[in-house]
Amino acid sequence: MQTEHTLEIKKIIAGGSGLGQLDDGLVVMAPFVLPGELVRVVEKKRCSGHILAELRQVLRSSPLRCQPLCRHFGRCGGCNLQQAPYVEQLPLKLEIVRELLERARLSSTPVIKAVVPSPQSQGYRYKVRFHLSRNGEIGFHRMGSNDLIAITKCPLATPVINDALGELMESGLVSPAARYCRQIEYICSPDDTSVIATFFLSGGRKPPNSFISAICALKKCAGVAFCRGRKTIFSRGKFGCSQLFATGQTSYTLHWNKHSFFQVNPGQNRQLVQLVCELAGDLSESRVLDLFCGMGNFSIPLALAGAAVTGVELNKKAISDAGKNAQNAGIKGIRFIAADVTRYLQGLVGGKNHFDVLVLDPPRRGLGRTTELLVSIGSGMIIYISCDPATMMRDIRILAQGGYRLSTIIPVDMFPHTHHIECVAVLEKN
């Protein structure tokens, strides 16, 4: 028999769950709730010091609670904040960042600015990966499970991706596709809204030519690829994406292929790039090191602002894209290096290379112990961009112990209706 509890939700915590306490002080975490609500939950897992629970019923609703925009909300694991209007999600995310900052226990108190809202709260995702079940359904996994929730469209996906998904479902090719693959990824190019579809194969069987031909005949996709791991076994059509940017009186276009990382919310990415450039200040005659530079998302505008930029990225295809983007923008004083970031930083320690500003946008896991190498380099300013404020705070603590002061932190809402938060932190050398 499942154990039920009735409790009041005190706050939303990192990860998007609501937190409350039982009479004995034991912490309970449950999804899809809001602060101030009285809820009945059922235990899913009892851990050391807390309980993971599932929402059973909202007994007293928050005045902020609204009708979710997706009928699959509460079952699909993609979103966990649709119970609140978009404008009310921003303060919730700001409080999550505040709490993580308090737990970091830094000696200085930074300025925490308001969350930068996304230009679009729906239809903003230009990259979506769908899962396929063995019985021929397509959708997303249930939260905390591998069970598949079948969908026909996603309100967060840009409309052309939903159109491509609808065409695939109407073609009758989803069930045949499930015999050979478990994931399909759609990428939309921001400038021309062309769509690229990648089918990720599972097992050792190659799809028959008749099936590949049928997929390639679909009209909504400009490019189609079949991949096994990192190896492409078949591809047809276009695989390049592009986005126009404008900084002051200068405009430029970034190009990249499907192998390069790019922000899934291109409208918000424009605001993120502008924010980083503003925080960097006057870059005339400055040397900037851009770590995890990708295809030049920050390197190109920083170079156009007058900096001598060195970009470092392990992905060789992204480095190739970055070099072409610099050439197309008419930039000459810029270097791109295909290298592991940790090994590159190790090579800088004790050397004569000096950088005035260090910009980094690492993967979700952050830098960890590699952060100590940033201290050894000793740049005057560090601009740290992260999609996981928890790992970013961990790294900032290391930087603070090494003589840096966190002066400003700005949350940027790259992923509306989800618990994910992009943050930009500015650290200055004491």
CATH of the domain at 147: 2.40.50.1070
Asked, for residue 83, whether it belongs to a domain, the answer is: no
User: Which bin fits 248, alpha (ψ -120 to 50), beta or left (φ > 0)?
Assistant: left
Residues 373 and 385 placed together within one structural domain of the fold: yes
Residues 159 and 295 placed together within one structural domain of the fold: no
Residues 233 and 261 placed together within one structural domain of the fold: no
Asked, for residue 399, whether it belongs to a domain, the answer is: yes
Residues 221 and 289 placed together within one structural domain of the fold: no
Asked, for residue 73, whether it belongs to a domain, the answer is: no
Residues 109 and 58 placed together within one structural domain of the fold: no
Of 308 and 246, more confident? 308
Find out whether 194 and 270 touch, Cβ atoms under 8 Å: no
Asked, for residue 358, whether it belongs to a domain, the answer is: yes
Encoded amino acid at 1, one letter: M
Q: Say whether pLDDT at 42 is over 90.
A: yes
- Residues tagged active-site: 387
Residues 245 and 233 placed together within one structural domain of the fold: no
Instruction: Name the DSSP letter for residue 113.
Output: P
What is the count of structural domains for the chain?
3
CATH of the domain at 262: 3.40.50.150
Residues 300 and 314 placed together within one structural domain of the fold: yes
**Domain containing 332: what range?**
92-119+241-429
Residues 40 and 181 placed together within one structural domain of the fold: no
Dihedral sign, Cα of residue 392, residue 394, residue 398, residue 401 = positive
Residues 24 and 56 placed together within one structural domain of the fold: yes
The pLDDT of residue 361? 97
- Which pTM does this prediction carry? 0.95
Asked, for residue 80, whether it belongs to a domain, the answer is: no
Residues 132 and 114 placed together within one structural domain of the fold: no
| CA pair distance 294, 286, nearest whole angstrom | 21
Residues 271 and 393 placed together within one structural domain of the fold: yes
Q: If DSSP codes are grouped into helix, strand and coil, which group holds residue 384? A: strand
Q: Say whether pLDDT at 10 is over 90.
A: yes
Residues 329 and 273 placed together within one structural domain of the fold: yes
Taking only the tens place, the pLDDT of each residue in 339-358 is: 999 999 999 987 777 899 99
Q: Say whether pLDDT at 171 is over 80.
A: yes
Asked, for residue 224, whether it belongs to a domain, the answer is: yes
CATH of the domain at 41: 2.40.50.140
Asked, for residue 152, whether it belongs to a domain, the answer is: yes
Kindly give the interhelix angle for 86-104 and 389-401, rounded to the nearest 10 degrees: 30
Task: Quickly state the pLDDT bin for 108 (edges 50, 70, 90).
Answer: confident
The pLDDT of residue 305? 93
Asked, for residue 76, whether it belongs to a domain, the answer is: no
What secondary structure does DSSP assign to 19-43, as a single string? EEE-TT--EEEESS--TT-EEEEEE
The pLDDT of residue 365? 93
Q: Is 355 exposed, middle or buried (0-12, 13-18, 19+ CB in 10 A)?
A: buried
